[in-house]
A and B are shown apart, each in its own frame.
Chain A
Amino acid sequence: MPAPSLTGFNQKVIVGIAEMVASNNQNVTLTTYSLGSCLGIAIYDPVVKAGGLLHIMLPDSTIDSVKAAKQPSMFVDTGVPALFRAAYQLRAEKHRMIICVAGGAQIMDSGGFFNIGSRNYDALGKLFAEHGLKIQAEQVGGMVNRTMHLNLATGEVRLKISGQPQETILCKNSTTT
């Protein structure tokens, strides 16, 4: 879903849980809140200045194929292809795509019974490997909650971690690469 194209002032577009937004509107910053064990995946083509942000919740659409048909952005295997297709429609190209990933937090779980965060990340890694894609920057795992921003004018990706006052830059000046 492309963002509304008003020009001249900065807009923040919120990407909800199990949602995806792709746009080439230079005034827009895409933001997704509440990445717990979920993953935020930001892609950006610096040449055409287009990209998108996806907030997936679960690794695999076979968990609930009916839900996946209605809401593909909920799962890694259905959401990530949809994100790339949306960016391609904005003339972004695969070989130029800069990929950033954040989220996938984990509780202290030595038995691995509640490892949804790492299963999400593993599913993503497998999918990217199959398609020859590399993650440029990531901040994944740990015990923190994250908010992720993608600035569509610059491609800069910033993170805000709950309980910490400052935002951090995950990927800077990607337009120069």
Chain B
Amino acid sequence: MQELDDYIDKVKSLPPAPRILPELLTLLRQDDVDSDRVVKLIAFDPAITAAVLRLCNSAYFAGASPASDLQEAVTRLGFKQVYQLVAAVTGSKMLGPAQKGYGIDSGELWEHSVVAAVAAQLIAKSCGDSENESVAFTATLLHDIGKIILAEALEHIYEELVENSQNQQTPLIETEKRLLGVQHAEIGGHLLARWNFPPNIVSAVWHHHEPAGAQPHEKLAAYVYLGNMVSYFMGFGYGHHAFAMRGRTDALDILNLKPECLPDYMIKTFEQLQLVQSLVKINS
């Protein structure tokens, strides 16, 4: 743990902790959500408020007349949808910039994360787990947050990283562990724990490359794993050796799915690409 803290503390450009998101998640878990509390919480951050309103009035979501305040946006879109927008606004600030240490250009990590999150959410829904849809979306949106911590350290040894993954044909997390002593999934999980995200999201991010290790949150980790994979398959990968991850059937076993379901999830995700585009451009 000390090692993970050391890495996080060393980073020069650590984004500020997203305060609103974990608190919104807590509200989301309640059966009867009080929309006043939601509005108050979001209104605390003017940038997020503005982005939510802008998106609520964008071509994808817009109703007959524009929503002029948060209360109206929440009423019109519903709490889950507004939550998704808040998560996207928060995530895009953190995941938008280029990460040279991974060969990631500006916007690529963010686009990958949004596609993966949309895919994970629809996988959760199709598994009949509708109460975990929003959690699956958030955990998957943030699954690679550890890369913004490690990118700085990897920048100086990028060629070594590329060469290592090429010659050894090992997954990226194993290469990271060998070169740095830590890997992006565990450091991402640890960072989210420091930011007071709930234990299920911390665990799912921590174990998103080996979902069985996330017990008792293995279902959530499996949504993240499969959403991540669908995003890569559909070409929303990035950086060198984007596909350097192991195919694990435990993700399928945990959710009682067959490999044949993957093409279906790809098609369903394809149908959501318009939503993806509006979330990708959320801060631009």
Whether a CB of chain B sits under 8 angstroms from the CB of A132 is no
Question: Do A17 and B246 contact each other (CB < 8 Å), given the known contacts A37-B233, A114-B229?
Answer: no
Q: Is B103 an interface residue (CB 8 A)?
A: yes
Q: Could you tell me the distance between the alpha carbons of A30 and B64 in the complex, rounded to whole angstroms?
A: 38
Q: In this complex, what residue of A is CB-closest to B238?
A: A162
Asked if A163 contacts B240 (CB within 8 A), the reply is yes
Q: Are B244 and A108 in contact, CB atoms less than 8 angstroms apart?
A: yes
Asked if A162 contacts B103 (CB within 8 A), the reply is yes
- Which of these, A33, A107, A142, contacts B229 with CB under 8 Å? A107
Complex contacts, B241 vs chain A, CB 8 Å: 143-144, 163
Contacting residues of chain A (85-122) with chain B, CB-CB under 8 angstroms: 105-111, 113-114, 116-117
Stretch of B29-37, B51-59, B257-265 at the chain-chain interface: B257-265
Q: Does B275 contact A (CB under 8 A)?
A: no
* A/B pair count, beta carbons within 8 Å: 114
**A145 at interface (Cβ–Cβ under 8 A)?**
yes
Interface size on A, residues (CB 8 A): 32
Q: Is A35 an interface residue (CB 8 A)?
A: yes
Q: Is the CB of A109 within 8 A of B235?
A: no
Q: Are A143 and B238 CB-contacts (below 8 A) given A57-B266, A74-B267, A107-B232?
A: no
The answer to whether B234 touches A36 (Cβ under 8 A) is yes
Min CB distance A163 to B, Å, is 3
B78 within 8 A of A: no
A109 touches B247 (CB 8 A): yes
For B264, list chain A residues within 8 Å (CB).
63-64
Interface flags for B219-244 (1: CB within 8 Å of A; 0: not) read: 00000000001001111111111111
Q: A163, B171: Cβ atoms under 8 Å?
A: no
B270 an interface residue at 8 Å Cβ cutoff?
yes
Question: Which B residues touch A35, using CB under 8 A?
Answer: 235
Which residues of A sit under 8 angstroms from B169, Cβ to Cβ?
A: 108
Given contacts A17-B270, A107-B229, A162-B103, contact A116 B262 (CB under 8 A): yes
Chain B residues near A109: list those with CB within 8 A. Answer: 246-247
CB atoms of B247 and A113 under 8 A apart? yes
Please tell me if A58 contacts chain B, counting CB pairs below 8 Å. yes
Q: Is B252 an interface residue (CB 8 A)?
A: yes
Q: Distance (Å) between the CB of A105 and the closest chain B CB?
A: 5
B residues less than 8 Å from A142 (CB atoms): 243
Once the chains bind, are B267 and A108 in contact (CB under 8 Å)?
no
Q: How far is the CB of B232 from chain A (nearest CB, A)?
A: 5
B162 contacts chain A at the CB level, 8 A cutoff: yes
Total interface residues in chain B, CB < 8 Å: 35
Chain A residues, CB < 8 A from B270: 17-18, 57, 74
B243's partner among A33, A58, A106, A113 (CB-CB below 8 A) is A106
Docked CA distance A64–B261 (Å): 12
B246 cross-chain contacts in A, Cβ below 8 A: 107-109
The answer to whether B126 has its CB under 8 Å from any CB of chain A is no
A144 touches B243 (CB 8 A): yes
Q: Does A34 contact B (CB under 8 A)?
A: yes
Point out the residues of chain A lying under 8 angstroms from B259, CB to CB.
113-114
Please give the distance in Å from B172's CB to the nearest CB on chain A: 9
* A137 CB, min distance to chain B CBs, angstroms: 20
Residues of B within 8 A of A74 (CB): 267, 270
Most A C-beta atoms less than 10 A away, residue of B108, B234, B273: B234
Chain A residues with CB under 8 A of B263 = 58, 63-64, 116
CB nearest to B233 among chain A residues: A37
Q: Which of B82-135 contact A (CB under 8 A)?
A: 102-104, 108
A49-66 contact mask (Cβ, 8 Å, vs B): 1 or 0: 000000001100001100
Q: CB-nearest residue of chain B relative to A66?
A: B267
Bits for B49-87, please: 1 = Cβ < 8 Å to A, else 0: 000000000000000000000000000000000000000
A-B contact pairs, 9 of them (CB 8 A): A18-B270, A34-B235, A58-B267, A63-B267, A110-B247, A111-B249, A113-B252, A143-B244, A163-B102
Name B residues whose Cβ lies closer than 8 Å to a Cβ of A.
102-104, 108, 162, 165, 169, 171, 229, 232-247, 249, 252, 259, 262-264, 266-267, 270, 273
- Among all A-B residue pairs, the 7 with the closest Cβ atoms: A34-B235, A163-B240, A109-B247, A163-B103, A143-B243, A36-B235, A37-B233
